[in-house]
Structure 1
Amino acid sequence: MAATSHPLATATALDVLRRGGNAVDAAIAAVAVLGVVEPHMTGIGGDCFAILSDKDGKLTGLNGSGRAPMAASLDRLLDQGTTEIGPDSVHAVTVPGAVAAWQKLLSEHGTWSLADALAPAIAYAEDGFPITPRVGADWAEEAPRLARDKGAAKHFLVDGAAPAVGSVHSLPALAETLRRIAEEGPKGFYEGPVAEEIVATLAARGGWMSLDDLAAMEPTSEVPITTDYRGYTVAELPPNGQGLTALILLNILEHFDLAGLDPLGPERFHLEMEAARIAYACRDAYIADPSAMTETVEALLSSRYSERLADGIDPGRRGERPAASDLVPDADTVYLTVVDSDRRAISLINSVYHGFGSGIVTEKSGIALQNRGACFVVQKGHPNTIDAGKRPMHTIIPGFVTKDGAPFMSFGVMGGAYQPCGHAHFLTNMVDYGMDVQAALDCPRLFWDDANGPLSAETTIPKATLTDLAARGHEVTMAASPHGGGQAIRIDKDTGVLIGGSDPRKDGCAIGF
């Protein structure tokens, strides 16, 4: 079974599985296609994270996030008068990690070559692909931003506008770049003409990235971190990702009887939002490149710590919490999961962060460069401040669940800063309220644009719930667009059946055979 955010990617994954490829082969082929057909969400200019499970539930992880240039430093930015790294800043562009991550996953866990896995993406980039409704809507919103960059306008606009829904769009320059990578491997991206163009494109805008920075890109293998939630073991990747935030949030929620509450009622959403605001305060204070963190994962996941955090929640009133966050909750990302016939599973997420990343696109090679460096803070003494060769705190997080030592579910929820809250919301829908995979994804969502500001409610949340939340001290507004997306595949070990779901907030689907 495969579940992705786009039908063409799901179809690609299934084709790989039918041709004898395993889950990892299928996932890399699918995510490469997503980098073509959802170019605002993901691509070779972004980063990649994954959690893998074998049939016995043994988990391994991969961190494919890139680093700040070695020439970057806090003092250098401060000397320029820079107090924050905006999403359009050239200093927001970190080394893209996706291509190196894909190769590492295939080399260590797959059976296909990178060239074979990239073939479907090359075909769609060269021959064209239809613009689906959600992709078209998102793309149109980004058109003014794309028009400001010569490369972006060249590759991603048609006569100055986003391609229309139902039209066929091609990316011939990106096809050539993917073909070079297929022929030369990651060196075709991190060295040679493509790398030289990336460096020159950024240097022309005052950027500090060098050829050595690109050539040094190396994904790292990781041991997932876990917490127990009502008998289920929930796994996330360790920092620099924000998966730890989801585990802290679940630890707080376990102190409350959610199952006795209406899943769409004010009590449930109040507790979830208050617990989330506390968990995100922990994230903003502590999560960074592991070498710079001032608190350990173990301390932040301890039972004493979660009990103390839970004790700070008033079930009847919104609290005042130092939970400010300037990370965009609806940043652009793709998540996918694949489970093969041997019950090997992969939970994979790939992103350029904001729509089309930094909005800086290389003219010849057609690469939209990510803006993950916008997650750095420009503040002396903060663990997540920018520095040479440092990874920023990262929002994209794949998830996995085991039960009694066996693989139970591969899952992920998209949506920038929303993701930890999305993980907790999805899992509590299943564990506390008994929803199936699809219903748990469908369930209405509530979040914020700023943790200290108003809540942003999807239109399907009952009005009575919103009225009650207001009475508890929450300011509530209606969300202009849905919160995130998501996919999941549950492995029923008793029947051998795979149960998949794909979020209706995106264009994708879950299909198995």
Structure 2
Amino acid sequence: MPAEPAVPAAEAAEGRDAAARALAGEFGCQGRGPTVGTGGMAASSHPAVSRIGVDVLEAGGNAVDAALAMAAASWLALPGQCGIGGDAFVLLRRPDGTVTAFGGSGFGPDGGDPGFYRERGLDAVPLEGPLAVAVPGAVAALAALHADAASWGLPRLWEPAARMAERGLPCTYKTRDDVVERRAALSRDPGTAAVYLPGGAPPRVGAPLRQPELAATLRRVAADPASFYTGETAERAVSSLAGAGAPFSGGEWAATGEALVGDALTCAYQGVTVHQTPPPTPGWMMLQQALLNDGVLAGLPWLSAEAVHRAAGAARLAFADRFAGCGSENDHWKSLLTADAVAAARARLDAGDPPAPATPAVPVDGDTTSMVVVDGDGTAVSLIHSLAFTFGARVSVPGTGIVLNNRLGRGAYLIDGHPNEVRPRRRPLHTLNAWLVTGRDGALRHVGNTPGGDGQVQWNAQLLSHLLDHGLDPATAVAAPRFTVHPGSDADVIGQPPELRCESRLGRARLDALRALGHDVRVQGPWAAGGSAQIISVDADTGALLGASDPRQDGVALGVQ
């Protein structure tokens, strides 16, 4: 019997992509298409934040200017998810094609060695209160980004946020729900209680949340970002935390003021280049999953049980590798991305040998937000920032309006000898990461990110596959059903059994097939996985920008014509 003629690669890819687009209707992620723009675009998880970014672009600012204004605005619009007291990471792609990473991640207290916590009868760094706090790194990262590529002054860029704080941005359903769920903790801190529990009760939706102290802080820090780490603001923070029992000296604040600036991590996937943020972020984990799945997922039907099984195995392996030997100060992760290591890991996955789950589990709490901006000159910014858990440590710095993060409690281990063990002047491992994709010629193809704790590196890998393996548009990619391996590698909730959490839109047949492949499938609501992905893509034929914001939150992508 004669062999069937080979199908040309381009024709096969076209047929595969058409099948994926048709299947998107079954999954409920085909609806309004992506936003289109030609002169720039901004996408975030809150309409007011996206609007400010577009306002800056329309007034002649570049993508960096827009991102900096959006970041400050989101501290008011999404106060449970981010704040000036948190951390931030950024990827910047310049018009010449070069890509730089900016990291803002802080140290714990100089007196916070393992013995400090054990002497107090603790078996983990607390998740709430003064002992959970790491020095905020966001201001350092954003100031370094501003110095590198902004065209407007920081006071001008942060003034809209300062005015928002003075007059009060209307409370959203999201913020009210966050306040209701954390009411007890917020009520214990005078600063958070005054803003988020006026009169002792959660604010009504639409009620203005006025923060005059934060407005003054924004203007002071915009005028002199270094003052956040060595001036009056730092002194107030250190005094307050030390008075509450956290052993900060002030030296760790000054040290955090030096941002982490350098080259992005990269790998090849489907013939293009993926860029990611370096440690202490887990950006290398997304690259590892890409290397393990390159050429595999493209040959499987989109979101089939076999494809989900493969992607979940790669994610599980990445988390196990992270917990086994990674810390913010070592290069263990580099050995995991070598050709030999990737080949060995691919062989394990091909043979159906699932890795054991990491010991710590994905946290039951957490919040982050992110944004992407592209301007007409090809400058692109992917920015993500967070307080770690919702409202962070749920403590504020008196007289400043600053709510502090709980990144130390969330990220650092109290495990003897582990490279991520809590130590003075050791940054804890992070969940935040940001990515973008360039073509062989260095041209921008995609820029994106998503919040979601340990879900981030998994969902970002899924977004990458939707875009590159199956040729889907941003709107379909961000709305696609999500799946999440549990546990991940955050520091809390030890020893939970492995699960595969899937949105119900995957469908009963696929979920049953995943169970038959050995997964303990836990079905979530149709849109309940979490996250709030943002993507802007460049149409290869027209050069137009196509953008979308995740329907799981209230965001929007807005274009400039």
* Range into which the TM-score falls when normalised by the shorter chain: over 0.9
SS at match of 2:547: strand
The amino acid of 2:49's aligned partner reads: A
SS at match of 1:163: coil
Change (3 A) 1:314 1:343: closer
CA contact (8 A) 2:365 2:390 kept: no
Partner of 1:335: 370
The amino acid of 1:393's aligned partner reads: L
CA contact (8 A) 2:284 2:333 kept: no
Deviations 1:99-155 (A, max 9, x none): 122221111110111111110111111111122333433343222332233322222
Range that drifts further, 31-40 or 427-436: 427-436
Range that drifts further, 453-462 or 131-140: 131-140
1:271 matches 2:310: yes
SS at match of 2:397: coil
Partner of 1:488: 535
1:438 matches 2:475: yes
CA contact (8 A) 1:330 1:417 kept: no
Q: Which of residues 301, 309, 315 is equivalent to 1:262? A: 301
Q: Which of residues 369, 384, 404 is equivalent to 2:404? A: 369
CA contact (8 A) 2:317 2:354 kept: no
Deviations 1:449-494 (A, max 9, x none): 4254322222322122222222222222233633211111112354
Change (3 A) 1:7 1:68: same
Change (3 A) 1:162 1:188: farther
State the identity %. 36
Partner of 1:211: 250
Aligned partners of 1:25, 1:430: CA distance in 2, in Å?
A: 27
Change (3 A) 1:277 1:175: same
Residue pairs, 1:68-467, within 5 angstroms: 68-183=108-223, 185-216=224-255, 217-254=257-294, 256=296, 258-290=297-329, 293=330, 295=332, 297=334, 299-313=335-349, 319=354, 321-328=356-363, 331-374=366-409, 375-404=411-440, 405-451=442-488, 452-467=497-512
Change (3 A) 1:126 1:487: same
CA contact (8 A) 1:335 1:413 kept: yes
Q: Which of residues 484, 504, 509 is equivalent to 2:551? A: 504
SS at match of 2:433: coil
CA contact (8 A) 1:25 1:117 kept: yes
CA contact (8 A) 1:44 1:98 kept: yes
The amino acid of 2:432's aligned partner reads: I
The amino acid of 2:366's aligned partner reads: A
SS at match of 1:460: helix
Q: How many Å apart are 1:229 and its aligned residue?
A: 1.1
SS at match of 1:175: helix
Q: How many Å apart are 1:325 and its aligned residue?
A: 2.8
Range that drifts further, 99-108 or 449-458: 449-458
Aligned partners of 1:329, 1:223: CA distance in 2, in Å?
A: 33
Q: How many Å apart are 1:61 and its aligned residue?
A: 1.1
Q: How many Å apart are 1:512 and its aligned residue?
A: 0.9
Q: How many Å apart are 1:329 and its aligned residue?
A: 6.9
CA contact (8 A) 1:133 1:507 kept: no
Q: How many Å apart are 1:204 and its aligned residue?
A: 2.9
SS at match of 1:312: helix
Q: Could you tell me which runs of 5 or more consecutive residues in structure 1 were left unpaired when the two chains were aligned.
A: none
Change (3 A) 1:150 1:459: farther
SS at match of 1:394: coil
Deviations 1:241-269 (A, max 9, x none): 1001111111111262x234332322121
Aligned partners of 2:182, 2:231: CA distance in 1, in Å?
A: 30
CA contact (8 A) 2:80 2:367 kept: yes
Q: How many Å apart are 1:448 and its aligned residue?
A: 4.0
SS at match of 1:416: coil
Partner of 1:48: 88
Aligned partners of 1:168, 1:464: CA distance in 2, in Å?
A: 47
Q: How many Å apart are 1:80 and its aligned residue?
A: 3.0
Q: How many Å apart are 1:320 and its aligned residue?
A: 5.2
SS at match of 1:353: coil
CA contact (8 A) 1:181 1:189 kept: yes
Range that drifts further, 144-153 or 301-310: 144-153
TM normalised by structure 2 equals 0.86
CA contact (8 A) 1:62 1:220 kept: yes
Aligned partners of 2:290, 2:175: CA distance in 1, in Å?
A: 32
Q: How many Å apart are 1:212 and its aligned residue?
A: 2.7
The amino acid of 1:414's aligned partner reads: P
CA contact (8 A) 2:130 2:393 kept: yes
Aligned partners of 1:302, 1:255: CA distance in 2, in Å?
A: 17
CA contact (8 A) 2:82 2:387 kept: yes
Aligned partners of 1:83, 1:174: CA distance in 2, in Å?
A: 35
Q: Could you tell me which runs of 5 or more consecutive residues in structure 2 were left unpaired when the two chains were aligned.
A: 1-40, 489-496
Change (3 A) 1:287 1:255: farther
Change (3 A) 1:478 1:202: farther
The amino acid of 1:384's aligned partner reads: N
CA contact (8 A) 1:318 1:474 kept: no
> How many residues were matched structurally?
507
Q: How many Å apart are 1:498 and its aligned residue?
A: 0.9
Larger radius of gyration: 2
SS at match of 2:396: coil
Q: How many Å apart are 1:303 and its aligned residue?
A: 2.1
CA contact (8 A) 1:42 1:350 kept: yes
TM normalised by structure 1 equals 0.94
